[in-house]
Amino acid sequence: MTDLLVPLLLLLGCGAVFRGVDVYGAFLRGAERGLRTLFSMAKALVPLLAILGMLLSSGFPEWLFSVLSPLCNVLGLDPAVLPVILLRPLSGSAALSAASELVKREGASALSSRIALAVLASGETTVYVTGLYLAGRRTRYAPAVLISALAGDLAAAFGAVFLILHFFQNSP
């Protein structure tokens, strides 16, 4: 069913020509915006992924896994997904890097890859967003927002793990 999602969206979009929209022009403008986004992503991703790569070959992951695997076994979670979950609220680029490394290592159909990608997509860079919206505004709700948002990220992670493990193990 999800097979047709993108083609239908595309049909819908191109169909806008009948409403007088300059579809091609819009595409170009949006694509240019996307290229600029890509460029700014590159600026962040190269140093991040480089440092992450160094961390991954330093022996740290092995140690972390041995410490956390009892907990993960209890939860039914592959410890390799932990970096993505922990980094998600802190930095979208870092989480993206961690997730893509995992997917590269395990392959796209591995359970942990699917979980990592679902966590990546369903979470948000909490710290950045909260900072952005509340910057310079006096509010007594700031701690409550931060705690609630982190609770949300945690719930997203658990939700992603739960849903993929029980319903969406393979491409439906």
Partner 1 sequence: MLSALLFSLVFLSLLSALLTGKTASLTPGLLDGAKSALELLLATGGPLVFWSGLSEVFSDAGWIGRLSRLTRPLLRFLLRPKEDCEELWSSLSENFSANLLGIGNAATPAGLRGAELLSRSGDEEGLARLTLLNACSVQLVPFTAASIAASAGDPRPFSLTPAVLGASLFSVLAAFSVFSLLSPLRKGRKSRD
Give the shortest CB-80-to-partner 1 separation in angstroms: 15
Among 8, 46, 67, 71, binds partner 1 (CB under 8 A): 46
Q: Considering the complex, state which of residue 66 and residue 73 has its C-beta at the smaller distance from partner 1.
A: 66
Which contiguous run of DSSP H or E holds residue 133? helix 126-134
CA distance 11 to 24: 13
CB of 143 to partner 1, least distance (A): 8
x/- map, 68-87, partner 1, by CB under 8 A: --------------------
C-alpha–C-alpha distance, residues 113 and 100, integer Å: 8
**Binding partner 1 by CB under 8 A: which of 68, 69, 101, 112?**
101
Q: Identify whether the C-beta of residue 146 lies closer than 8 Å to the C-beta of residue 130.
A: yes
Hey, which residues between 102 and 141 contact partner 1 (CB under 8 A)? 103-104, 107-109, 113-114, 117-124, 126-127, 129-130, 132-134, 137-141
Q: Binder to partner 1 among 77, 82, 100, 112 (CB under 8 A)?
A: 100
Structure tokens of 121? 């997509």
Return d(Cα 172, Cα 167) in angstroms, integer: 9
Furthest CA-CA distance within the chain: 60
Measured CA to CA, the distance from residue 85 to residue 83 in angstroms comes to: 5
Instruction: Write each residue from 1 to 30 as x if it is in contact with partner 1 (CB under 8 A), else as -, in one continuous string.
Output: -xx-xx--xx-xxx-x--x-xxx--xxxxx
Smallest separation (angstroms) from partner 1 to the CB of 136: 9
Residues 153, 126 contacting (CB under 8 angstroms): yes
